[in-house]
Structure 1
Amino acid sequence: MVRKRQRHLLIIGGGVFQVPAIKAAKSMGLNVVVTDYNGDAEGMLMADYPIEVSTRNINLTVNAAKQFHSSCPLDGVMTVGTDASQTVAAVANALNLPGIPFEVAERSTDKIKMRRRLHEMGVAVPNFRPVWTIDDLNTAIKEMPLPLVIKPCDNMGARGVKMIREAHEASSAFHEAKEASISGKLIVEEFMEGPELSLDALVFDGRIQVTG
């Protein structure tokens, strides 16, 4: 009788937001590989195979996944509750696992590329400008009506998001947003008043399943 190969799932991130996914995967009988920079993270302690590497370090994560995969094939890679979509996509693409193309993951996490793509596809987006320097921001303030919102183009959870109601607020808002940016690239956009709607959904085989 041929013994069925044990399946392995790589979960990017070992923090509290990933713990439910780790528990679910283990309850399904999967061997769980977890990557996180913190070896003492709760999810890392639960993992069958913990690998210490930052979720944001794409190259090191891909290399670690390749090394593991060479001796113990991975069957999938995922994350939940992190901004590591590009890392997941890079691993999936490198190992030919199910996943989205890297450029799609990049557009979903880079607010400037996201808005440009949405605009190209005819989806209404707020008027915006990319910002690298305080001079870029001052130019945008001259060209766009206040109030404006400035934020990192590559972070989530409202980190570094500031409203600019008056021109004299630009400098402090710029520096706070800059500190929260991974790359240093910011986006300033017109303020849109109204309710904020948010949802979680899974797209599979062309179908959208709302999950929360």
Structure 2
Amino acid sequence: MKDYILVFGGGTLQCSIINRIKLAGYGSVVIDPDPNAPGKELADVFIPVGGQDYDATLEVAKKYSVKGVVTAATDKPILMMCRIAKDLGLPFPSYESCDTVLDKSKFKEFLKENNLPHAKGQMFTGEADVTPLDFTFPVITKPVVNSGSRGVIKAHNKVELAQAVKETLLHSRDGNYLIEEYIEGDEISVEALVQHGKLHVLQLTDKIVTPPPYNVELGHIQPSRFMDLKPEIEVLLQKIIDSSGLDHCALHPELKIDNGKITVIEIGPRLGGDFITSDLVPLSTGINMEDQLLKIATGREIELTRKEAAAMVSFFDFGEGFTVKNALDKEQILKDFPEITSLHLDKKVGEQINKITDSLNRYGHLILIGAHRDDLLEQKDKITVIIDQCLFGN
């Protein structure tokens, strides 16, 4: 009889781990509030369940005697997963540890109490008038609970701040938001696993983001330019693990690097999204993080044998208002550039190109593999020009 793993979420970003479950010889039980979620077609068992319906979730987990609980690229179900895993005695972080890092206000206090490098900030609720307060600009506004860069806005003065707060509140689930100092420097993420309280950093990832006021990720490249800081980053993150109690999970911290100084921005106790986990880490290290997370979730020891390569994802940004004139000749581009492992565009002929304000309204991507990161950046620029000419040329 097949053993089952419970997957929280059947969206596009969870499809890869659903496939890996099947390849690992398990059955997948996928739950999602959307009865037509994309993962429905991939799942062995698919059951529509509300995101806050604890009783229904526990009933499903018990019915199929699940051997582990997993998700990918989303924070939303994690606290529910903590409760289910505790009830069933499955490997997963505690509710308290996840709540500490997922609530951005609590996490900021945690970092402050433990004397760890962080952006200074303050939490506000609702449409409070913040303009009389004294801020050192620029600042960032962000929802206390959210992900995907939604509602994260940079403001340079009080006029921009007032508008930023209004827009951030549109993306706040509970009406709470942070105003925090803007940290200069380069953004990176860390792709890691935690088992038996020990941190295993698999890769560092450089980010490419939109210009202000929004802070949307337009690309990721591995390995990072800051690999020399990996030992220092490992020490910092192990302190966070030890102090918070996080264990038996993936870890996706986001950091700022400025002249060698590391600042912690936030941490997700989960796999990274944006194809970082599903594509880039396996391409650049030879390690499939999803497979290793399945081992953690089912109580087996991880195995980390790696290779060294480079990989990147670039999300298209052709500028706002242009109309697609021609269909993308995907077959020819893939033939001309074998280093492309994935190419996707959501826009059709006659459709307009929208402004990118968060991760949900991006409209296509390109994934590349190569020996060196600098070569990938050059190739990405070359391929993007060709695609631009194909779509918008006469």
Question: TM-score, normalised on structure 1?
Answer: 0.88
Instruction: Supply the distance in 2 between the matched residues of 1:26 and 1:35 (Cα, whole angstroms).
Output: 16
Instruction: Supply the distance in 2 between the matched residues of 1:136 and 1:115 (Cα, whole angstroms).
Output: 22
2:67 corresponds to which of 75, 83, 87: 75
Instruction: Supply the distance in 2 between the matched residues of 1:52 and 1:105 (Cα, whole angstroms).
Output: 25
Residue 126 of structure 1: aligned partner: 119
Q: Does 1:102 align with 2:98?
A: no
Displacement of 1:90 in angstroms is 2.1
Instruction: Supply the distance in 1 between the matched residues of 2:45 and 2:131 (Cα, whole angstroms).
Output: 50
Tell me if structure 1 keeps the 8 A contact 2:111–2:118: yes
CA deviation profile, 1:36-80 (whole Å, cap 9, x unmatched):
1222222122111111124xx23x0x3223212333311110111
Instruction: Supply the distance in 1 between the matched residues of 2:19 and 2:181 (Cα, whole angstroms).
Output: 42
Tell me if structure 2 keeps the 8 A contact 1:12–1:34: yes
Q: Could you tell which deviates more after superposition, 130-139 or 155-164?
A: 130-139
- Aligned residue for 2:199, secondary structure, equals strand
CA deviation profile, 1:58-110 (whole Å, cap 9, x unmatched):
3x0x3223212333311110111111322221221232211111111112211
Tell me if structure 2 keeps the 8 A contact 1:137–1:188: no
Residue 193 of structure 1: aligned partner: 184
CA deviation profile, 1:11-47 (whole Å, cap 9, x unmatched):
1111111111111111111111111122222212211
Q: Does 1:87 align with 2:80?
A: yes
Instruction: Supply the distance in 2 between the matched residues of 1:189 and 1:170 (Cα, whole angstroms).
Output: 11
Which one-letter code corresponds to 1:190 in the other structure?
Answer: E
Which one-letter code corresponds to 1:95 in the other structure?
Answer: L
Q: Does 1:205 align with 2:196?
A: yes
Displacement of 1:120 in angstroms is 1.2
Question: TM-score, normalised on structure 2?
Answer: 0.49
Length, aligned pairs only: 202
Which one-letter code corresponds to 1:86 in the other structure?
Answer: L
Tell me if structure 2 keeps the 8 A contact 1:32–1:48: yes
Tell me if structure 1 keeps the 8 A contact 2:126–2:169: no
Instruction: Supply the distance in 2 between the matched residues of 1:204 and 1:195 (Cα, whole angstroms).
Output: 29
Residue 138 of structure 2: aligned partner: 147
Which one-letter code corresponds to 1:74 in the other structure?
Answer: V
Displacement of 1:207 in angstroms is 2.1
- Aligned residue for 1:135, secondary structure, equals coil
Residue 45 of structure 1: aligned partner: 41
- Aligned residue for 1:11, secondary structure, equals strand
- Aligned residue for 1:197, secondary structure, equals strand
Tell which structure's C-alpha radius of gyration is larger: 2
2:4 corresponds to which of 4, 8, 24: 8
Tell me if structure 1 keeps the 8 A contact 2:85–2:92: yes
Instruction: Supply the distance in 2 between the matched residues of 1:85 and 1:105 (Cα, whole angstroms).
Output: 7
CA deviation profile, 1:100-126 (whole Å, cap 9, x unmatched):
111111122111111111111110211
Instruction: Supply the distance in 2 between the matched residues of 1:9 and 1:108 (Cα, whole angstroms).
Output: 25
Question: What is the CA RMSD across the aligned residues, in angstroms?
Answer: 1.7
Displacement of 1:143 in angstroms is 3.0
Q: Could you tell which deviates more after superposition, 64-73 or 201-210?
A: 64-73
CA distance 1:108–1:136, change in 2 (3 Å): farther
Can you give the 5+ residue segments of structure 1 that lack an aligned partner in the other structure?
none
Tell me if structure 1 keeps the 8 A contact 2:49–2:57: no
Can you give the 5+ residue segments of structure 2 that lack an aligned partner in the other structure?
204-394
Instruction: Supply the distance in 1 between the matched residues of 2:71 and 2:108 (Cα, whole angstroms).
Output: 23
Q: Identity of paired residues, percent?
A: 29
